[in-house]
A and B are shown apart, each in its own frame.
Chain A
Amino acid sequence: MRFIFKFPDIGEGISEGKILEWYVKKGQRVQSGEHLVKMETDKVVADIPSPKSGTIAVCFGNVGDIVYVEDPLVEIEIENVSPQEAQKIAEEKPAPPKQESLEEKGFGVVGTLEVAGEGAYLPASYEGRMQEENDKKHAKKVLATPVARAMAKELGVDINHVKGSGPQNRVTKKDIEEHFSRKEKPAPIEKSEVIIEAKELIEAVEISQVRKSIARRMTISKQTAPHMSIFEEVEISQLVSIREEHKEIFAKKGIKLTYLPFIIKAVVQALIRHKALNSSFDIEKGQILYKHYYNIGIAVDAPDGLVVPVIRNADTLSIFAMAQAIGEITEKARSRKLTLDDMKDSTFTITNYGSIAGLYAVPIINYPEVAILGVGRIHQKPIVKKGQMCVGNILPLSMSVDHRAVDGGETSRFLQEIIDGLTNPVSLLLS
């Protein structure tokens, strides 16, 4: 049995990818889970595993080609075929051009949708996101009803440029009528003048995939989780001197010692005692999921926009190991070398905007987590200590929580633990 494996939705709002390297070729046997191809997306470089065991019959696309989600990647002959048959597959003529294959297999590949996720429910409506690409890929006849074809011919409409609204994006007579009436209508004069003016003053740029992903996730978080925020100042003179003492030693080993490892340490210790802050809230299932692992997401200002790589099992890491891990992932983020694995499964997020500027912020929770800690700019200011005015090193902290999952009291106690840890870093290191 032939099986067409389509480029799956790998999450993060990714809709297309570039083929970087093929790990398999025609006629090669693959096991389920074995890597097929290395794809580069706007956000990550990911190895795509095979969903089935079998023999590769066709690899669609060459290195450097752009492949859209739902486009076929490989055709696999499923196990239980005779060696002769497998051989025959390997000896077949090269695969026809990609467009043709898509048209031809439109109906036959419904079964492949088991790996295509949500859209699998109604293949007739969801399959073949070809339509938007009609303009580029009309080497073969576009799907249309007989009346639509006759109508297009008569009205002189190029049916390949019409967006279909029927099942499988079939072009219907309504689509032709609408397309024709749009074409017929001259653009209003005032409007075109505005556009000319606007062109000089405004630059229209396509929204990048990363930006779209950020927009989507931020909107979901803000719309789903009722945010509650709290702010506090921590006097960290002890921490400042400890860091001063040790940063040279770290530097000699090639590690930059910042305040972040200490902050993560303090956060993790507080999380261990306040499990509600290390959870996610699933209202549909009516469950709160407490995580017994501590993966801390670090919001990084990467060239293309915000990414959140994860420091895994932060509770098991020393300050040194933590500093090393932070150095590695921030470097990967800035050079766009993060993989999806580097960004998965965080349980709590820290955003360190203070390293650029800003004392306080109202950070947006990295949903479905329930809390985020914002770290402001460390600065000196006069404080009162034992009745005396002196110079203090102040670290401003801002925190947002999902009030559905966590209440104010718990949040304040959690924050106080972080403050205690940072005020008295020795206790942090000894614990």
Chain B
Amino acid sequence: MDYDLLIVGAGPAGYVAGIRAGQLGLKAAIIEKGHLGGMCLNWGCIPTKSLLESARLYKKIKKAEDFGIDGIFPKTIFFNWQKAIFRTRRIVDRLSKGISMLLEKNGVTLIQGTGEIASPTCVIVERRMISAPNIFLATGSKPKNLDLPVPKEMMLEIEDLFQLEILPESIVIVGNGSTAVELCQFFAMIGKQVNLVSEEETILPALDPYLSDFAEKKLRSMGVGIFLKTKITGYDKEGVLCDEQKIACQKILNSQEREAILPFSTIPIDKKDGFVKVNGHLQTNYSSIFAIGDINGIQTLAHVASAQALHAVNYIKGIDSPLDYCCCPLNMYSEPEMAQAGLTEPQLKKAKVEYKITEFPLSANAKAMIEGSTEGILRLLSERKYGEVLGVQIIAPHATDMISEAVAIMQMEGTIYDVAKVMHAHPTTSEIFLEAGWAAIDKALHL
């Protein structure tokens, strides 16, 4: 055997598996045809959030006068796409080098090329046979192909977006989910005309309807047109046609739901709904082949991919580290940010749990006022008997960071009493937890 572990794909599943394998003394190699960091680092989480940050600042600067800064005139400032992209690339490069360094530090070999599965213990890379007792498939996912009756030059994949020299003045985003919403907000914040077209019924099916409704209203208030249960049926000079309706646009961006990127395999690997079928330890129908990250379709999230990578490497070393997805945070880097962990209201209803929802608005929070962003809320979903916190939803600046507190509480089976007992520094946005805790027990202090 050439290696102890062969990993196909260097995204947040693959490279984390490599590092952990190195730490545990395994001789590991990663096969990657493209860039280190996968979709997340190169075209997903990192670059989109970097662009959103630029757009957010652009929007905030327009309000500079409110903060006591004169001399900035909203009409004279403009968004420089090229510079925003340059900044984004710099961040990506730095993180990519970081991964490269970490892999090297942990003795992980990087093999450039496309991996083809030849047997349960062999992968062929560029006509070279490499063997290992364990193989991890970590090739990720991509948006489903969009087959629309429109000219090819109108179509953009997310990777193409970062290559554009000039941004289109009007765009249609096809799909739903957090990426689609984030992209809509990005274009809206920098003053482009955006429309969202989806065949689905809701824009954020994975989130609590409260958050999904909020996002929909927010998008509309930002001038984003939302066309749900709608299909693009044709085009003309000005844009696309959805049956009778006409939506003006120069480009169409594919942000459809994702499908697995399956490596070529000469042995049959079982699938379920287009993703690789795995057991609780992420093993495929071959016990030596694991599928980690988006490819198994359990959740298409980078942090889940990394958690699965750790689990799988630990497992092959005989270390038991159970995987629990119930407290997995779902983040939206929207304006304002939104985050959710635990169960949603429909899920609680379905499970017939007697629950109560306690809310605390951001408008009563000092730090939010200081930052000039008071739009938002904390929602605490707790069961009635012991007061266990079963779900938390946040709409607030930094919601994506603050959700970790909720995850920690839920992971330790904490109650509303524990939430109220945690001392929070003042002034912080996170004080909304303490307030919501008190509100759940009795009454909020500052309301």
The secondary-structure label for the interface of chain B is loop
**CA distance in complex: A211, B320 (Å):** 26
**Closest approach, in angstroms, between the C-beta of A70 and any C-beta of chain B?**
15
Please tell me if the beta carbons of A121 and B314 are within 8 angstroms of each other in the complex. yes
Given contacts A121-B24, A284-B4, A286-B1, contact A150 B415 (CB under 8 A): yes
Given contacts A121-B24, A122-B321, A284-B4, contact A148 B413 (CB under 8 A): yes
**Closest approach, in angstroms, between the C-beta of A284 and any C-beta of chain B?**
7
Please tell me if the beta carbons of A121 and B413 are within 8 angstroms of each other in the complex. no
Q: Say if the beta carbon of B319 comes within 8 Å of chain A.
A: yes
Q: Say if the beta carbon of B418 comes within 8 Å of chain A.
A: yes
Q: Say if the beta carbon of B412 comes within 8 Å of chain A.
A: yes
Please tell me if the beta carbons of B1 and A150 are within 8 angstroms of each other in the complex. no
Please tell me if the beta carbons of B4 and A172 are within 8 angstroms of each other in the complex. no
Please tell me if the beta carbons of B320 and A151 are within 8 angstroms of each other in the complex. no
Give the residues from 104 to 126 in chain A that come closer than 8 angstroms, CB to CB, to chain B. 118, 121-122, 125-126
Given contacts A150-B386, A151-B386, A286-B1, contact A172 B413 (CB under 8 A): yes
Q: Say if the beta carbon of B286 comes within 8 Å of chain A.
A: no
Given contacts A121-B24, A122-B314, A151-B386, contact A145 B412 (CB under 8 A): yes
CB-defined contacts of A170 to chain B, threshold 8 Å: 412
Please tell me if the beta carbons of B415 and A146 are within 8 angstroms of each other in the complex. yes
CB-defined contacts of B314 to chain A, threshold 8 Å: 121-122
Q: Say if the beta carbon of B388 comes within 8 Å of chain A.
A: yes
Please tell me if the beta carbons of A147 and B413 are within 8 angstroms of each other in the complex. yes
Question: Which of A121, A126, A148, A172 has the most chain B CB atoms closer than 10 A to its own CB?
Answer: A121
**Closest approach, in angstroms, between the C-beta of B382 and any C-beta of chain A?**
10
**Closest approach, in angstroms, between the C-beta of A131 and any C-beta of chain B?**
14
Give the residues from 415 to 429 in chain B that come closer than 8 angstroms, CB to CB, to chain A. 415, 417-418
Cβ-closest chain B residue relative to A283: B1
CB-defined contacts of B412 to chain A, threshold 8 Å: 145-146, 170
**Closest approach, in angstroms, between the C-beta of A36 and any C-beta of chain B?**
28
Which of B317, B320, B415 contacts A125, CB < 8 Å? B320
Which of A125, A150, A173, A286 contacts B321, CB < 8 Å? A125
Cβ-closest chain B residue relative to A284: B4
Cβ-closest chain B residue relative to A170: B412
**CA distance in complex: A172, B320 (Å):** 17
Q: Say if the beta carbon of B414 comes within 8 Å of chain A.
A: yes
Question: How many interface residues does A have (CB within 8 Å)?
Answer: 16
Please tell me if the beta carbons of B319 and A121 are within 8 angstroms of each other in the complex. yes
CB-defined contacts of B1 to chain A, threshold 8 Å: 286
**CA distance in complex: A133, B78 (Å):** 68
Please tell me if the beta carbons of B319 and A146 are within 8 angstroms of each other in the complex. no
**CA distance in complex: A284, B1 (Å):** 8
Please tell me if the beta carbons of B321 and A147 are within 8 angstroms of each other in the complex. no
CB contacts between A and B, total, < 8 Å: 42
Please tell me if the beta carbons of A147 and B24 are within 8 angstroms of each other in the complex. no
**CA distance in complex: A121, B314 (Å):** 9
Please tell me if the beta carbons of B414 and A145 are within 8 angstroms of each other in the complex. yes
Please tell me if the beta carbons of A147 and B319 are within 8 angstroms of each other in the complex. no
**Closest approach, in angstroms, between the C-beta of B247 and any C-beta of chain A?**
50
**Closest approach, in angstroms, between the C-beta of B176 and any C-beta of chain A?**
35
Cβ-closest chain A residue relative to B24: A121
Please tell me if the beta carbons of B317 and A146 are within 8 angstroms of each other in the complex. no
CB-defined contacts of A151 to chain B, threshold 8 Å: 386
Please tell me if the beta carbons of B413 and A146 are within 8 angstroms of each other in the complex. yes
Please tell me if the beta carbons of A147 and B415 are within 8 angstroms of each other in the complex. yes
- Chain B 1-41: CB-based contact to A (< 8 A → 1; otherwise 0): 10010000000000000000000100000000000000000
Please tell me if the beta carbons of B418 and A146 are within 8 angstroms of each other in the complex. yes
Question: Chain B interface: which size bin?
Answer: 10 to 19
CB-defined contacts of A146 to chain B, threshold 8 Å: 386, 388, 412-415, 417-418
**CA distance in complex: A286, B131 (Å):** 12
CB-defined contacts of A121 to chain B, threshold 8 Å: 24, 314, 317, 319
- Chain B 305-336: CB-based contact to A (< 8 A → 1; otherwise 0): 00000000010011111100000000000000
CB-defined contacts of B418 to chain A, threshold 8 Å: 146
**Closest approach, in angstroms, between the C-beta of B130 and any C-beta of chain A?**
14
Given contacts A150-B386, A151-B386, A284-B4, contact A173 B319 (CB under 8 A): no
CB-defined contacts of B413 to chain A, threshold 8 Å: 145-148, 172-173
CB-defined contacts of A145 to chain B, threshold 8 Å: 412-414
**CA distance in complex: A284, B413 (Å):** 41
**CA distance in complex: A118, B318 (Å):** 9
CB-defined contacts of A126 to chain B, threshold 8 Å: 319
Given contacts A146-B415, A284-B4, A286-B1, contact A122 B386 (CB under 8 A): no
Cβ-closest chain A residue relative to B4: A284
Cβ-closest chain B residue relative to A151: B386
Cβ-closest chain B residue relative to A124: B321
**CA distance in complex: A172, B4 (Å):** 36
Please tell me if the beta carbons of B319 and A125 are within 8 angstroms of each other in the complex. yes
CB-defined contacts of B4 to chain A, threshold 8 Å: 284
**CA distance in complex: A420, B324 (Å):** 65
Cβ-closest chain B residue relative to A125: B321
**Closest approach, in angstroms, between the C-beta of A77 and any C-beta of chain B?**
29
**Closest approach, in angstroms, between the C-beta of A380 and any C-beta of chain B?**
53
Please tell me if the beta carbons of B388 and A147 are within 8 angstroms of each other in the complex. yes
CB-defined contacts of A118 to chain B, threshold 8 Å: 318-319
Cβ-closest chain B residue relative to A165: B322
Give the residues from 264 to 304 in chain A that come closer than 8 angstroms, CB to CB, to chain B. 284, 286
Give the residues from 271 to 323 in chain B that come closer than 8 angstroms, CB to CB, to chain A. 314, 317-322
**CA distance in complex: A22, B314 (Å):** 38
Cβ-closest chain A residue relative to B133: A284
Give the residues from 144 to 186 in chain A that come closer than 8 angstroms, CB to CB, to chain B. 145-148, 150-151, 170, 172-173
Give the residues from 383 to 441 in chain B that come closer than 8 angstroms, CB to CB, to chain A. 386-388, 412-415, 417-418
- Chain B 148-166: CB-based contact to A (< 8 A → 1; otherwise 0): 0000000000000000000
CB-defined contacts of B322 to chain A, threshold 8 Å: 125
CB-defined contacts of A148 to chain B, threshold 8 Å: 413
**CA distance in complex: A286, B2 (Å):** 9
**Closest approach, in angstroms, between the C-beta of B273 and any C-beta of chain A?**
29
Cβ-closest chain A residue relative to B390: A147
CB-defined contacts of B321 to chain A, threshold 8 Å: 122, 125
**CA distance in complex: A118, B1 (Å):** 23
CB-defined contacts of B387 to chain A, threshold 8 Å: 150
**CA distance in complex: A172, B386 (Å):** 13
CB-defined contacts of A150 to chain B, threshold 8 Å: 386-387, 415
**CA distance in complex: A126, B386 (Å):** 29
Give the residues from 349 to 389 in chain B that come closer than 8 angstroms, CB to CB, to chain A. 386-388
CB-defined contacts of A147 to chain B, threshold 8 Å: 386, 388, 413-415
Given A147-B413, A170-B412, 11 further pairs, Cβ under 8 A: A118-B318, A121-B24, A145-B414, A146-B386, A146-B388, A146-B417, A146-B418, A147-B415, A148-B413, A150-B415, A172-B413
7 intermolecular pairs with C-beta atoms under 8 Å apart: A118-B318, A125-B320, A146-B386, A147-B415, A150-B386, A173-B388, A173-B413
Interface residues of A (CB under 8 A from B): 118, 121-122, 125-126, 145-148, 150-151, 170, 172-173, 284, 286
Considering the complex of A and B, which 9 residue pairs feature the smallest CB-CB distances, nearest first?
Answer: A145-B413, A147-B413, A150-B386, A147-B388, A146-B415, A147-B386, A121-B319, A122-B319, A122-B321
